[in-house]
């Protein structure tokens, strides 16, 4: 059901790459290595933003603004306040909010933005079924509250763990699990046509 959210172009790197962990060490000034932070988190940030924004071109713009802000504000990173990833995702979340605010969109995700252009090698019936599934999921997502949508996007769009989402949002890890469980239940019910 939620695998539709993970249809994004970028796949995150393996979580347990020791070279990537070594690159995340802070320099003597207490700042993370930006190149390593970018390389390690680009796919997750892109998938999160793509899931929230919907439009690939807009997602590209928002992600580039988020990383530009992160580079500009690298001096403001405080390791006592959290991990570099949590700091980066906070910037990305703010960039998404700014994107919607700038366009004065009232809805979270306009359905027409996710309409994919059919490829020549896919069967029309399969495309129609996939498109209808995607539209149903998006309608169901619109019924969720803003916090639930954000947490669902972080979990299934960015592929973050409950612990990472908790660190980013300031909520407890078990609270994140409960919110996700309830959100997925609501989505399931909405997709089955229940009130």
pLDDT per residue over 95-147, tens digit each? Answer: 998 988 877 644 444 545 545 554 555 566 666 666 677 777 777 888 888 88
From CA 93, how far away is CA 62, in angstroms rounded? 10
Asked if the model's pLDDT at residue 68 lies above 70, the reply is yes
More confident residue, 64 or 159: 64
Average pLDDT, stretch 6-18? Answer: 47
DSSP 8-72: -S--PPPTT-HHHHHHTSB-TTS-B-HHHHHHHHHHHHHHHHHHHH--HHHHHHHHHHHHHHHHH
pTM (two decimals): 0.64
Q: Which of 93-97, 165-169, 175-179, 190-194 has the lowest mean pLDDT?
A: 190-194
- Structure confidence at residue 21 (pLDDT): 46
Domains of the chain (ranges; CATH) run 13-106 (1.10.1740.10), 122-195 (1.10.10.10)
């Amino acid at each position: 059901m939620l695998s539709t959210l993970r249809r994004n172009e970028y796949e995150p790197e393996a979580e347990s790459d020791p070279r990537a962990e070594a690159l995340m060490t802070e320099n003597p000034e207490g700042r993370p290595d930006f190149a390593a932070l970018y390389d390690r988190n680009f796919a997750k940030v892109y998938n999160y933003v793509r899931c929230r924004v919907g439009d690939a071109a807009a997602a590209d713009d928002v992600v580039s603004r988020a990383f530009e802000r992160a580079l500009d504000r690298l001096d403001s990173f405080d390791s006592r306040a959290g991990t570099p990833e949590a700091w980066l995702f906070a910037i990305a979340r703010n960039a998404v909010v700014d994107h919607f605010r700038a366009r004065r969109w009232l809805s979270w995700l306009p359905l027409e933005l996710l309409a994919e252009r059919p490829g020549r090698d896919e069967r029309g019936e399969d495309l129609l079924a996939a498109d209808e599934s995607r539209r149903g999921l998006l309608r169901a997502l619109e019924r969720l509250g803003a916090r639930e949508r954000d947490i669902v996007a972080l979990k299934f769009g960015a592929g973050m763990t409950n612990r990472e989402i908790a660190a980013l949002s300031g909520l407890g890890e078990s609270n994140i699990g409960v919110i996700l469980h309830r959100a997925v239940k609501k989505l399931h019910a909405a997709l089955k046509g229940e009130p």
